[in-house]
Structure 1
Amino acid sequence: MSADEVVIGIISAPGAATELSSVLADDLHAELSFHVPTVRWREAIVVDALVHPPSDDAALVDAARDRLLKEGWDLVVCVTDLPLQAHRRPVVAHASPLHGVALVCLPALGAVGLRRRTRDTVVGLVRTLLGDTADGDISGRVAGLGRRASQLGRNQQPGEDGGVMFTARVLSGNLRLLTGMIRANQPWRLAIGLSRALTAALATAVLALVTPDIWQLSAALGWIRLSAIGLGSLAGITIALIAGAGLWERTSHPAGRKQVTLFNLATTATVVLGVLFLYVALLLLALATSPILVPAQLLEEGIGHAVRAGDYVKLAWLTSSLATLGGALGAGLESDDVVRAAAYTYRQESPQSRPQE
């Protein structure tokens, strides 16, 4: 390792990790330059999934090490969105000074304050890598970064490669891991991308609003039945999307079953949230337009009693539920790429090794 310049390769998985990589490089450079100003730090950013899921940290370390040797870097930090676990505990980070490789499991850091947590974790990992090298001069210069290592987590376990693995608690850590995976899937983008489903849903909503039979049905139904219809419509379009695009993951390898289970949970939650965004948008639209399309006098004649605010809410609710079911038909027309974006492993199939400036 050169004492004049230290090159740190940052390999980010396609998706949410890539969006953080350029910001992370700037933050990492500033932090290291502040604590060790006598060393010239340089960061090289590469987008590469490295492995195809399901996979474990050992495979990631090996792949990152190969990339380090190929590029001629001094150290490499791999920011992955794969859920890594050790003894049922989520792996937050893994530092292997022997290989010069550090791993950061982005979902294990949660969904809030992700930039700060990622920066602090990476700085602590780089400190661990440098502090365990044979170069005493470099090791002494990074002594001020020691406090960063404590921010990675209280649970530390020795890695198989002689490194250090930082894990989270079983219950809270797995919950944070799952929320981080859902955030990485960005469910709001799914809702925006369902253009054909939205078109079918809007057409169904307009037709339902101007149908007198729907007025009478909404007035006759109670809130429990309306809720059941709403949940049924959400389940219908969710199943249509997951089954139609083949989002459900399977594996024949026993070692990868836990990881695949997390993939399926994150994918299902992503689709549910995306559909829920669509449902709420339809509900708000129906609430805003129903008094215009269905005047109170006309609605009163249809339902046989004086119109109250609750009658419009019921009408909007039933209309939104029927429109969501209509959206399920449109969901079958969506391109696979749009829907597959909700699958957690889809990003791993993106073109790899795309350098960024």
Structure 2
Amino acid sequence: MESIDLAEYGDELRRDPHGVYARLRGRGPVHRLRPADTGEGLTSWLVVGYEEARAALADPRLAKDAGRIDLHFLDEDLIGRHLLSVDPPQHTRLRSLVARAFTMRRVEQLRPRVQQITDDLLDAMLPAGRADLIDSFAYPLPITVICELLGVPEIDRDEFRKLSTETVAPTSSQSEYDAFVRLGGYLTELIEDKRCAGPADDLLSDLIRTTAEDGDRLSAEELRGMAFLLLIAGHETTVNLIGNGVLALLTHPDQLAALRADMGLLDGAVEEILRYEGPVETATFRYAAEPLEIGGTRIERGEQVMIGLSAAQRDGARYAGPDRFDIRRDPRGHLAFGHGIHYCLGAPLARLEGRTAIGTLLRRAPGLALDGPPGEWLPGLLMRGVRSLPVRW
């Protein structure tokens, strides 16, 4: 099979990846990537079809643990292993321990606090008449929620934002490495401070104390890895959910009007936002632990597979008129939070924040409109979101 060169699509892949993925999907659901596109020197594959992506996300032959094909990455030394870098039985053990502390009940108890933070941010933002929605609202809401949930001091949050963004949308390999080093050191100190401080009512303290029936507990390295995953995944994705959602509504005035006329459509609108312009463009790499086929394409042991979530969710074989933003659509089965055993643990919290943020904003800013072009889309193939979103009301 001929390799495709993603670089040949230039800035189009960053600005409008959906058109690129549609053309690729027209040639087939699975494509081999030129090695330079991934930087690991491995044969790499990109999955762009919905059925193929859904199956691949749940296929146990595609490992998350790169060690199963004798690969080792420096960030595991700097941060530690977590749910997105291990397979069963380690994954089963880690998820079970985390699920003991990060329960649906805990998420539901956050509802009043999420609403209060939302209202406080809008109280500060709305009198100005215009703002960058990302800086003033879409970012501070989820970072405040996840930092309060985990027990991260408020004074550290601005610095944490810079470091976290650099790990998911790096501007250079050196800056990415530096961000991982600093985050690893910070989280080690935070965990040790919480150990010394004694019992506290936050998720990270609970994770430190959590013990299974057989006495199993998270190690220091596992705690650091889980804290990293919860902090990064707990806010970066939700920033983009809110930003992408508001942008989609403002650029589709008929859908915005329909939602304003019937806020009972809000839950469905958030699900359509997740399908239409979800916050994660591609899932993190999986590695073929044994030979397999995806969409009729043979993948050899040791090759890496990148599953296109954004690509899959615009597949016309799964969703009629996939490029149409329609808040009345039934978007069930979307892959914005993944599928299978690695389905996002924080999906209920992301949905709660997305619904609260978008619903409250529309109610309190009836004249909401764009105040200029959105900022650049984030670099790389992992996250999908704009750096800024100027709005007025």
Instruction: Answer whether TM exceeds 0.5 for this pair.
Output: no
More helix by share: 1
Using structure 1 for the length normalisation, give the TM-score.
0.31
| Greater strand content | 1
Structure number with greater Rg is 1
> What TM-score results when the alignment is normalised by the length of structure 2?
0.29
